[in-house]
């Protein structure tokens, strides 16, 4: 990805495209790869999307969001721009656009995520606060999700040194309401981050996307108190997929709140007891996580118009290969027998038409409601 500042018109078109129904980070990436610019992708959407109900936001609607964001002091940063956090840019696919309220500089320091149970024990809350405070004093920004419990305890303990909260809803939407004061403290002393539009209220399906950004911003993820079935473990899985370090605090086998942590340790997560453990583990990781982009390389041109018949045939084969269980995209490509460009084009059109559901990590499943 070429790193450059977007013009006003380019930024508006990026926002219009990512705010279009059914266009998520994967579809956005594939549309830009196919049509080169957001403006050209928008022009091409009517020929791809069969459902007339899907509409692209108008320039006026997006310009109103841009103006409202500016009035509130919110920065809207595209993934290709220099201010976009470099560790998050390394995620595939990166969120095309994030909104940031507060101090952007905390996102350019080395970051560590601290996550865990909403229903945390007193000892868990104390440990999270101590860990966050010590990591902050060592020069790290603590990333979490502003949830009750471990998240809130970690944020509150390191306000003076820098913390960032990633939200599922719009950056202007406070959730949960009990963290109202903490939200405003972070806005003044740290940063609030979201990929959702202003005014958007998060639903359950938005939190996996939020969790992927939490891990994507971070060198590593520290898990403190997590049940065996919890959103915290989803974040840990994303961290592993993103080549981030996963660390966990062990707990009593009699406490269901620590069973997830103990399982992570059994499966290879680093056991940590102090901030010094975390710092030691992360000290040499940064060069291996982020590769500087090489703008001299350009993907070879592909004639999608000439391949239209192949794309249609591939779509039928792909449909038969898929189920309602999310499947890795590479597995679909291998099983189809078609080149990656053809399968990706077929999946893009199926995604935009709502025939498939694409997970934040790129796995694909049939849409059971179609």
Task: State mean pLDDT over 72-80.
Answer: 98
Q: Any residues with CB less than 8 A from the CB of 348 and at least 6 apart, and which?
A: 27, 30, 31, 34, 48
- pLDDT tens per residue, range 300-327: 567 777 778 899 999 999 999 999 999 9
Phi, psi dihedrals of residue 285, rounded to the nearest 5°: -85, -30
Which pLDDT belongs to residue 291? Answer: 46
Query: How distant, in Å, are the alpha carbons of 152, 153, 173 from that of 179?
Result: 8, 11, 11
Which pLDDT belongs to residue 292? Answer: 46
Query: How distant, in Å, are the alpha carbons of 126, 127, 178, 233, 244 from that of 280?
Result: 22, 18, 35, 23, 14
Distance of alpha carbon 9 from alpha carbon 16, whole angstroms: 10
% of the chain surpassing 90 pLDDT: 82
Task: State mean pLDDT over 172-198.
Answer: 97
Which pLDDT belongs to residue 289? Answer: 54
Q: Any residues with CB less than 8 A from the CB of 67 and at least 6 apart, and which?
A: none
Residue 43: pLDDT over 60 = yes
Residue 116: pLDDT over 70 = yes
The conformation of residue 327, written as its DSSP 8-state character, comes to B
Please state the pTM of the whole predicted model: 0.91
Query: Which one has a higher pLDDT value, 49 or 212?
Result: 212
- In terms of DSSP bridges, do strands 111-116 and 220-224 run parallel, antiparallel, or are they unpaired? parallel
Distance of alpha carbon 91 from alpha carbon 2, whole angstroms: 15
Residue 81: pLDDT over 90 = yes
Describe the chain by its helix, strand, coil percentages, rounded to 5.
45, 15, 40
Tally Cβ neighbours within 10 Å of residue 30: 21
Q: Which helix H or strand E contains 74, and what residues bound it?
A: strand 74-78
Distance of alpha carbon 215 from alpha carbon 234, whole angstroms: 10
Average pLDDT, whole number, for the chain? 92
**Domain chopping of the chain, boundaries:** 8-81, 103-288, 308-366
CATH fold, domain 103-288, is: Rossmann fold (3.40.50)
Task: State mean pLDDT over 141-159.
Answer: 98
149: alpha, beta or left, given left = phi > 0 and alpha = psi -120 to 50? left
Residue 297: pLDDT over 90 = no
Three-class DSSP labels, 253-321: CCCHHHHHHHHHHHCCCEECCCHHHHHHHHCCCHHHHCCCCCCCCCCCCCCCCCCHHHHHHHHHHHHHH
Task: Classify the C-alpha dihedral 272-277-279-284 as positive or negative.
Answer: negative
- pLDDT tens per residue, range 241-292: 999 999 999 999 989 999 999 999 999 999 999 999 999 999 876 545 554 4
Residue 153: pLDDT over 50 = yes
% of the chain surpassing 70 pLDDT: 95
- pLDDT tens per residue, range 188-221: 999 999 999 999 999 988 999 999 999 999 999 9
Which pLDDT belongs to residue 288? Answer: 53
Task: State mean pLDDT over 17-44.
Answer: 94
Q: Which CATH number fits domain 308-366: 1.10.10.10, 2.60.60.20, 3.40.50.800, 3.90.1300.10?
A: 1.10.10.10
């Amino acid at each position: 990805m070429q790193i450059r500042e977007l013009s006003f018109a380019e930024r508006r078109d990026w926002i219009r495209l990512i705010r279009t129904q059914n266009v998520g980070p994967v579809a956005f990436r594939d549309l830009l790869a196919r049509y080169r610019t957001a403006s050209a992708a928008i022009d091409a959407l009517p020929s791809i999307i069969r459902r007339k109900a899907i509409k692209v936001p108008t320039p006026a609607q997006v310009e109103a969001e841009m103006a409202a964001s500016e009035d509130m002091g919110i920065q809207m940063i595209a993934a290709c721009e220099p201010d976009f956090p470099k560790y998050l840019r390394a995620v595939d696919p990166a969120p095309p656009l994030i909104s940031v309220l507060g101090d952007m500089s905390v996102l350019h320091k080395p970051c560590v995520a601290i996550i865990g149970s909403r229903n945390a024990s007193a000892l868990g809350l104390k440990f999270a606060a101590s860990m966050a405070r010590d990591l902050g004093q060592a020069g790290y920004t603590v990333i979490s999700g502003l949830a009750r419990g471990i998240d809130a305890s970690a944020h509150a303990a390191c306000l003076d040194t820098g913390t960032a909260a990633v939200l599922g809803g719009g950056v202007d939407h406070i959730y949960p309401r009990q963290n109202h004061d903490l939200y405003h403290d972070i806005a003044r002393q740290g940063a609030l981050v979201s990929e959702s539009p202003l005014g958007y209220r998060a639903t359950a399906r938005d939190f996996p996307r939020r969790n992927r950004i939490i891990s994507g911003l971070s060198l590593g993820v520290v898990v403190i108190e997590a049940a065996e079935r919890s959103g915290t473990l989803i974040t840990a899985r994303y961290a592993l997929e993103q080549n981030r370090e996963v660390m966990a605090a062990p707990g009593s086998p009699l406490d269901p709140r620590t069973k997830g942590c103990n399982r992570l340790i059994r499966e290879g997560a680093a056991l940590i007891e102090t901030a010094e453990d975390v710092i030691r583990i992360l000290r040499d990781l940064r060069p291996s996580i982020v590769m500087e982009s090489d703008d001299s390389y350009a993907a070879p041109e592909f004639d999608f118009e000439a391949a239209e018949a192949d794309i249609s045939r591939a779509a039928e084969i792909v449909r038969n290969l898929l189920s309602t269980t999310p499947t890795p995209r590479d597995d679909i490509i291998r099983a189809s027998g078609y080149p990656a460009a053809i399968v990706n084009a077929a999946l893009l059109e199926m995604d935009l038409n709502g025939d498939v559901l694409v997970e934040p990590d790129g796995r694909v499943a049939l849409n059971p409601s179609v």
